[in-house]
Amino acid sequence: MLLGVYFHLAINYVGEPPGGHPFFGLFMFLCHYFRMHAFFLVSGFFGALLVNRRGAKEMIKNRVNRVLYPLLVISYPIWLLLVFSGDFSLNRQQGNNIINSIISGLWVFVETPTNLIPETTMHLWFLNLLFGMSLLGYFFSKYSFISVDIFKNFVKNIFEKPWLGTFSFCFFYGLLLAILDIQEAQGEEGVGWASWVWFTKLSAIKTFVAFGFFYLVGWQMYYYREQLNSLSVKKYLKIFVVFFLLIFPGFTTLLFKIGGYSQYEIFNEFWSQEKREVTFNVDMSPFDFTQFADSSKFKGVYLNGSFNSWCGECDNKMDDLDGDNIFSKTILLNPGSHNFVFSVNGWDGAHKGDQRGIGEKWVSPGDKGFECDKDPNSDNDNSYEIRLINEDLILEPICWKECTDCDGNYISKIDVNRPWPPLQRIVIEKGFIFAMNFLVPSAVILIMTLFIRFCSQPSKRLRYISDSSYWVYVIHLPLVFFIPAFFHQSEMNLLIKYIINSAIVTAACYLSYHYLVRKTFIGKFLNGRKFD
């Protein structure tokens, strides 16, 4: 949970110089590779502990009090703070001074809708999924006809036959994700896992199943808890290294097999590949420009995407040089997949703090489920996507608010309705998913072993950090957008900037915990007790 603070802080510096650096993308990738998997494994372990010590009824009661209620109660105030910090950050990115940016952000508390539940669960999505897993654990424990004993021998081998057990763990997890057809547990399309009703979205159900696999393994690990202290760092490090050497040749072969680019953008940044020119075109004929009676209120049409951190008006204005209402912008991109939208006046027509502004009138495509999107299970229907190979690309003009041109002709290079690939591509993509995720369980076990080896002795300092982690994770996200915004217009070295911001955010999180939470009703609400 604490690693999430620095993971989210790195978002501000992802990209390429001068505004970003590939190092931060790599750091995020490495964190993302094991972080939430380890969380759900540990959650499963303690779910089993609660059932065995207090019974299934008390376990679910505990999960309601410690997981469900905090999610429902805290989400709204955190959302307000997040919208405020997002608006402040956006204003700073656009060159506004600190005072005016703060004033603009404060309007959020006046203009924000009165509904008491945000549109998504934001960074608290894991609580929603965890409660779902707890419900399953309750039924598995309460009703004998539902059993997960099949996992016991599977987990037993991790301790008693480390090579075979770890290999089985890795193999079945890689196979599971290949079957689910997702490149990573947290899904690839949209943010379905952050929905309040995630169980109605196919991509979110896949995420639940992927993380639920670790939850079940962690649950069964409880029954072998006496063997945890016997785990050998040396042995599991050797297993990880050997498995890495075994999988890496196949992984790198598949990595650039599909058109010569990786499906993971971070690898395209590090592999020495030539960037390609991509020309984006949008036909603004359907847009009503008469609403800008005062021409000074029209700032322009902008290109925003994953390649520029959806940054609003920062050096991505499109041009209509011949006055035909077709606006163009040419940029250099690494080969790979890129999502993008077109927007009028940056993000002026978007929800404040929601940098992608999905669903608003001045963002294209914007509206979820726009006309050409025929996939009812897709969560990725609110942005365009291209897959860039090793060649320059000129996109045909995309009609405003559509995924066709303005004559209704489908634009094949926009990957909204992705055609079913040929058999060879399916095999390669499945192989890539398997190879990419094969090492995740081994990494989780190795890190768990390291912490058991070096952090098992009683420590007031570690106990304090553990007690604070819930609150620190809850409050950190508004801070990781608010604090760095003060440095947006600074020419300071990015690494130094990141270190300074990390120190300030960490101090703010722990000071707020110590003085506002630890000895108060908030601390009792989150952790079940107040601390002296």
Backbone CA torsion sign across 419, 422, 424, 430:
positive
**Each residue's pLDDT tens digit, 411-466:** 766 654 444 455 666 777 788 889 889 999 999 999 999 999 998 888 999 999 99
CA angle in degrees (0–180, nearest 5) for 82-88-91: 140
pLDDT value of position 189:
53
**317 pairs with which residues across the strands?**
302
Contact 113, 127 (CB under 8 A): no
SS3 state at 319? strand
Q: How many residues belong to the chain?
A: 532
Name which of 311, 383, 398 is nearest 19 in CA terms: 311
Reported as a single tens digit per residue, the pLDDT across 153-188 is: 889 999 999 999 999 999 999 999 999 988 889 875
d(Cα 127, Cα 125) in Å, to the nearest integer? 5
Task: Decide: 309 and 28 in contact? Cβ < 8 Å.
Answer: no
Residue 1 carries which DSSP code? -
Contact 421, 305 (CB under 8 A): no
State how far the Cα of 133 lies from the Cα of 127, in Å rounded to an integer. 10
Nearest 5°: phi and psi at 492?
Answer: -60, 150
Res 420: pLDDT: 45
State the pLDDT at residue 377. 43
pLDDT at residue 115, rounded to an integer: 59
Give the number of other Cβ atoms within 10 Å of residue 460's Cβ.
7
Q: Taking a C-beta distance cutoff of 8 angstroms, is the pair 428, 443 a contact?
A: no
DSSP conformational letter for 147: -
**Interval 95-109: pLDDT, tens:** 888 898 888 888 777
- What pLDDT score does 378 carry? 46
The per-residue pLDDT of the chain, averaged, comes to 83
Q: One digit per residue, pLDDT tens: the chain, 532 residues? A: 889 999 999 988 887 677 778 888 889 889 999 999 999 999 999 999 999 999 999 999 999 999 999 999 999 999 989 989 988 988 888 788 889 888 888 877 776 555 567 888 999 999 999 999 999 988 888 775 445 566 788 899 999 999 999 999 999 999 999 999 888 898 755 568 888 999 998 889 999 999 999 999 999 999 999 999 888 999 999 999 999 998 877 776 666 555 455 555 555 555 546 778 899 999 999 888 887 776 667 888 999 887 877 777 777 889 998 889 999 999 988 777 788 888 888 776 554 334 433 335 688 876 544 444 444 444 445 678 787 766 788 888 999 888 788 887 877 666 544 444 556 667 777 888 898 899 999 999 999 999 999 988 889 999 999 999 999 999 999 999 999 999 887 888 889 999 999 999 999 999 999 999 999 999 999 988 888 7
Domains contained in the chain, CATH given = 273-419 (2.60.40.10)
Distances (CA, A) of 42 to 91, 214, 263, 364, 445: 40, 9, 30, 42, 11
